[in-house]
Every structure is written in structure tokens, then in C-alpha cells.
Amino acid sequence: MAGKVFFSVTMSLDGFMAPLDDGALEAMNQGRNDDPSLRRWMSQWGELQGWALKQRFMRENLQFGEGGETGPNDDFLRGVFDRTGSTVLGKRMFDGGEGGWPEDAPFHTPVFVVTHEVREPWKRLGGTTFHFVNDGIESALAQAREAAGDRDVRIGGGAETILQFLNAGLVDEFTVSLRPVFFGTGVPLFKGVDQTAVALDLARTEATPEVTHLTYTVRRR
């Protein structure tokens, strides 16, 4: 039996899943760590994702060393990882991580990058191989489903790629991990969603002091 297609992202209380990139990622890839735009981006990113980076599972997966928090948030992150048999990324999301991921990239599954670029698969340590798909999201999903077997396919981002899958009716469920922070501006998660086609049913909630996990099943109107 084929698994589900899902995404799981952290979002600020005013609806942003990432800080505004005003040159920060270019500075990061060029090693300009003192660039003001990068410092602002990293500060906001830390506010958004700090809850996850403190968890034991995440520290282990990113090779930050031993220690870290355990409990509901740690269990949540481990559950997302355990259910994922393959991942789909947009090209911009891949570009943002390519220079920063360790050789043992944190996916440990096949990853399918939706892109116009023609490129041979890029194999990393720990079971991660990046495949570059040039013929659209349906093809990427078909390949990801085959690779995942009976496990789930995660749409890893960014926002534009998530929205493409959601509007096309290709997402079964998603979790928004809501952080009590305001960005004011940034990368919106649901800007452009087709509200005439996408309907949601609340599946479950789990609240902790740092983040509230809201999980919805997706159906077509």
C-alpha cells in the first residue's frame, strides 16, 4: 500500500515559514558570515527553528553532538523522520542547503529535486541521493512514491513547491508547527493557495510551551 504525501513545516504566528532573503543565502554560500543581511536572517531563523534545534533527535541528525531535550517535541521530530521514505524539494530549497549540508546530509532517503537543471544524481553518505527531475511535480512525485515504498513522501519545501503540490491536490495531510513569534515580513506559507479547491479537516493538535503542532487532512472541495 502506498504511503501518504505530506509536509511538515514551522510557521510564525503571522504566517511565514522563513525570513525574507535579501541576500542572506548568497552571503552564506560565499562564506560572508559578517554580512548584515545574513546576521538578520540567522537571528530570525533561530527564533523560528530554535525549538527544533534543541531536541535530541535533531542534534543527532545534524551531528551537533550529544545531549538535547527529550519529550513531546523530540518525539514529534523523530516521528516525521521515521515515516518519511523519500523527500521532494524545490530547486531553490536545494540551492539553499547544498553548500551547508554535511557530507552525511540529514535526509537519509532518496531526495527528488524539481528543477529545470539537467544533472546526474548526487550521492551522499547515509543513504541520501539527490535526483534531479526536469519534467514537473507529477513526475517527481511518481518517482518519490516508488522510492518510498509503503512509507510516506514528504514535500520538504520551499513554500512555492509546497503550494504547487497542495493546489494540485497531491497532498494528503500536513502539519504546521506554530511558533509564537511575529516576523512582519518573510516567506509566506499559504500565499496563493487555491481556497476554491482545497479544504481542510483538523486531525489532531499537540501544544507545548514552545510550539503548537496543528495537523490537517486535505480534501478537494
Write out pLDDT tens, residues 95-134.
777 766 778 888 999 999 999 989 999 999 888 999 999 9
* Lowest mean per-residue pLDDT among 12-16, 30-34, 82-86, 113-117: 30-34
Q: What pTM value is reported for the model?
A: 0.92
Residues near 31 by Cβ (< 8 Å), separated by ≥ 6?
none
Report the DSSP beta bridge partners of residue 219: 199
Fold adopted by 5-18+75-220: Dihydrofolate Reductase, subunit A (3.40.430)
Burial track 170-189 (b if 16+ CB lie within 10 A, e otherwise): bbebbbbbbbeeebeebbbb
* Crossing angle (nearest 10°) for helices 72-83 and 36-53: 100
User: pLDDT tens digit string along 140-189?
Assistant: 999 999 999 999 999 998 999 999 999 999 999 999 999 999 999 999 99
pLDDT at 1: 58
User: pLDDT tens digit string along 39-95?
Assistant: 888 889 899 999 999 999 999 888 888 899 999 999 999 999 999 999 999 998 887
In this structure, the number of other CB atoms found within 10 A of the CB of residue 9 comes to 18
Domain residue spans of the chain: 5-18+75-220
User: With bands split at pLDDT 50, 70 and 90, how would you rate the model's confidence at 191?
Assistant: very high
Which whole number is the average pLDDT over 211-216?
98
pLDDT at 99: 66
Give 77 or 22, the one with higher predicted confidence. Answer: 77
Calculate ∠ Cα 144-146-151, nearest 5°: 80
44, amino acid identity: Q
